[in-house]
């Protein structure tokens, strides 16, 4: 009998106007025509995701505390579709009275009445994909929206009296200078969101950019410049009162994204829909990335009642994931149980990073730790430790897998 204690659910809504040049997410391009109708393959997709959710209805489950609609561009899904998915989640899992329901929305893909209708359905957190405030940079990364769409979107967010919303930016864009980034941060602060995400552009191999651009070389900013952008964001946003609670995320106190914290704490979560990952009872599973393969998998899996999809995550993988995800958080991570050899190896490997001021090694009383056996908690320092987190994480990985 499966008994799930997870209380977080991610649902993937894979519709986008066009594919951005840096994007390797599983999406379907729907073009620039009229708003999507709740029929044809859109209806078929929502029905498939509902069927996947319904596979849980015969098992003991907990009410959800966080629900996240990501994409893709969830604001392209007709309201009836979102309503069906929420009804289905409520019937199968139910949710807490203070559930966080997040929806990603892109400028130019929603209206004020639509935003208000989302709120009526229970959505209480929005994530606005601005990425940049400059039209030339937006055009250069293949985004469909422009500055005028952003201003309109923010105006509607205010008219709808949305209290909990994130403004998402990307740094390190082609032809982006430090002044451009400074301007984006300035306009972002002017909008007064309760949360900001600032991700550095990643060049994925199977994207238009992956085929054209080389990280660190023009028109992409140099590594030195992207580091300056990171530090500028850290200084500007913390000075404005935002808490830098995760490597790439800032929030007004108490308005951190609860759903994403489930991932960073390496806790379990449901994933539903194309390409979505779930992590349940020690099993991690990523669903197929194309619609036909997802439907075929779903049909096959529904036939195997009583199983959880995916491979078991080994104890070593779980340990490494807990450290690597937990170190993304400003609060750091308490070490899981380690052997005395592992404690010694970790203490030695991180000593030089501690001297550089990148990481704090702490004992159980949160005091600086001067002995391997007393090592209890690790915390990256902001901003240098976050900036060089890859180096620290590589050393942790090497010393725990040797
Ligand atoms: S809008 Fe987001 S999901 Fe869609 S193509 Fe662009 S980056 Fe990818």
Fold that domain 8-264 belongs to in CATH: TIM Barrel (3.20.20)
Contact 209, 21 (CB under 8 A): yes
Dihedral Cα 283, 289, 294, 296, nearest 10 deg: -100
CA of 132 to the centre of ligand 1 (A): 14
The enclosing H or E element of 390 equals helix 389-401
Domain coordinates of the chain in residue numbers? 8-264, 315-401
Q: Is the CB of 108 under 6 A from ligand 1?
A: no
Residue whose CA is at the smallest distance from ligand 1 atom 6: 20
Q: Is the CB of 372 under 6 A from ligand 1?
A: no
Rounded Cα distance between 220 and 63, Å, is 45
Q: Is the CB of 73 under 6 A from ligand 1?
A: yes
Residue whose CA is at the smallest distance from ligand 1 atom 7: 23
Distances (CA, A) of 80 to 119, 247, 327: 14, 36, 40
Residue whose CA is at the smallest distance from ligand 1 atom 2: 72
CA of 144 to the centre of ligand 1 (A): 10
Q: Is the CB of 19 under 6 A from ligand 1?
A: yes
| CA of 14, closest atom in ligand 1 | 3
Distances (CA, A) of 367 to 363, 374, 381: 5, 10, 15
Residue 285, helix vs strand vs coil = strand
What does each of the 402 residues of the chain score in pLDDT, given as a tens digit?
A: 787 889 999 999 999 999 999 999 999 999 998 899 999 999 999 999 999 999 999 899 999 999 999 999 999 999 999 999 999 999 999 999 999 999 999 999 999 999 999 999 999 999 999 999 999 999 999 999 999 999 999 999 999 999 999 999 999 999 999 999 999 999 999 999 999 999 999 999 999 999 999 998 999 999 999 999 999 999 999 999 999 999 999 999 999 999 999 999 999 999 999 999 999 999 999 999 999 999 999 999 988 767 888 889 999 999 999 999 999 999 999 998 889 999 999 999 999 999 999 999 999 999 999 899 999 999 999 999 999 999 999 999 998 887
Residue whose CA is at the smallest distance from ligand 1 atom 8: 23
């Amino acid at each position: 009998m499966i008994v799930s204690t997870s209380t977080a659910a991610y649902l993937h809504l894979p519709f986008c106007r066009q594919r951005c040049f840096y994007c390797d997410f599983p999406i379907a391009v729907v073009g620039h025509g009229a708003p999507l109708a709740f029929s044809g393959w859109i209806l078929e997709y929502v029905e498939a995701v509902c069927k996947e959710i319904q596979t849980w209805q015969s098992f003991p489950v907990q009410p959800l505390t966080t629900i996240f609609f990501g994409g893709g561009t969830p604001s392209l899904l007709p309201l009836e579709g979102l309503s069906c998915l929420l009804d289905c989640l409520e019937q199968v899992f139910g949710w807490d009275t203070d559930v966080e329901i997040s929806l990603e929305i892109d400028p130019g893909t929603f209206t004020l009445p639509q935003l208000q209708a989302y709120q009526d359905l229970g959505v209480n957190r929005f994530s606005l994909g601005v990425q940049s405030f400059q039209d030339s940079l937006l055009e250069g990364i293949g985004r469909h929206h422009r500055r005028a769409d952003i201003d309109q979107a923010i105006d509607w967010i205010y008219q709808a009296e949305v209290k909990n919303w994130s403004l998402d930016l990307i740094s390190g864009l082609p032809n982006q200078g430090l002044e451009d980034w400074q301007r984006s941060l300035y306009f972002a602060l002017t909008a007064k969101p309760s949360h900001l995400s600032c991700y550095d552009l990643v060049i994925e191999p199977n994207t238009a950019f992956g085929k054209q651009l080389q990280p660190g070389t023009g028109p992409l900013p140099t590594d030195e410049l992207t580091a300056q952008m990171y530090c500028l964001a850290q200084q500007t946003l913390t000075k404005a009162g935002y808490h830098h609670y995760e490597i790439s995320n800032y929030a007004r106190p108490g308005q951190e994204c609860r759903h994403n914290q489930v991932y960073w704490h390496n806790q379990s979560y449901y994933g539903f829909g194309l390409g979505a990952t779930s992590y349940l009872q020690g099993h991690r599973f990523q669903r197929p990335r194309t619609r036909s393969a997802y439907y075929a998998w779903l049909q096959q899996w529904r036939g195997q009642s009583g199983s959880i999809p995916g491979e078991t995550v080994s104890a070593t993988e779980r340990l490494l994931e807990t450290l690597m995800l937990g170190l993304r958080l400003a609060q750091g991570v308490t070490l899981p149980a380690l052997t005395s050899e592992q404690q010694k190896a970790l203490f030695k490997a991180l000593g030089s990073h501690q001297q550089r001021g990148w990481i704090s090694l702490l004992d159980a009383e949160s005091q600086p730790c001067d002995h391997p056996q007393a090592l209890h908690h690790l915390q990256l320092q902001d901003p240098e430790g976050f900036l060089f987190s890859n180096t620290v994480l590589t050393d942790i990985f090497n010393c725990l897998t040797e």
